């Protein structure tokens, strides 16, 4: 009986030592994009998928065919700290004044990652751009 209790204590101790994963790891994540004003009013929404490759720090963002936002793109990312990620798109960006350039994944976002959930948020002036993904 003492051996079983001792074994249980060791297992619990080892399990409690496991550190949570907080930096994005390779995978495919499916979710939604939302663009809201500062009052929380939903301006735009769509379904999208992002794939992350942590070996070469590459990403690819795809959007449902029924939506035109955000703009599909791919490129590279860098982890700036435990809460910020910088995306650099290699995709051709429309630079005309009529296009909302914040609809490209090509800037710094606050992120939350727990190996299942992957959320990206940035606020520009009074507009909030938010991606909420779940590992696929």
CATH assignment at residue 31: 2.40.128
Domain-located, residue 15: no
What is the average pLDDT across 68-72?
89
Spatial distance between the Cα atoms of 74 and 106, rounded to a whole number of angstroms: 9
Span 17-41, pLDDT tens digits: 555 668 899 999 999 999 999 888 9
Looking at the structure of the chain, the number of domains it has is 1
**Sign, Cα dihedral of 114, 118, 122, 126:** negative
pTM higher than 0.85: no
Q: Report the greatest alpha carbon distance in the chain.
A: 74
Domain-located, residue 107: yes
Structural domain including 62 reads 22-135
Domain-located, residue 5: no
In the chain, helix, strand, coil percent, each to 5? 15, 50, 40
Span 73-115, pLDDT tens digits: 999 999 999 999 999 999 888 888 888 889 999 999 999 999 9
Domain-located, residue 76: yes
Domain-located, residue 6: no
């Amino acid at each position: 009986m003492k051996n079983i209790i001792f074994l249980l204590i060791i297992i619990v101790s080892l399990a409690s030592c496991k550190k949570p994963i907080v930096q994005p790891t390779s995978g495919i994540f499916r979710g939604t994009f939302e663009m809201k004003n500062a009052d929380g009013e939903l301006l735009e929404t769509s379904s999208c998928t992002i794939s992350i490759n942590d070996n070469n720090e590459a990403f690819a963002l795809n959007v449902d065919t029924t939506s035109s936002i955000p703009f599909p793109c791919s490129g590279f990312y860098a982890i700036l700290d435990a809460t910020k990620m910088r995306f650099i798109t290699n995709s051709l960006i429309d630079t005309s004044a009529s296009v909302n350039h914040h609809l490209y994944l090509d800037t710094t976002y606050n992120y939350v990652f727990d190996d299942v959930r992957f959320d990206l948020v940035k606020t520009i002036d009074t507009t909030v751009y938010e991606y909420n993904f779940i590992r696929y």
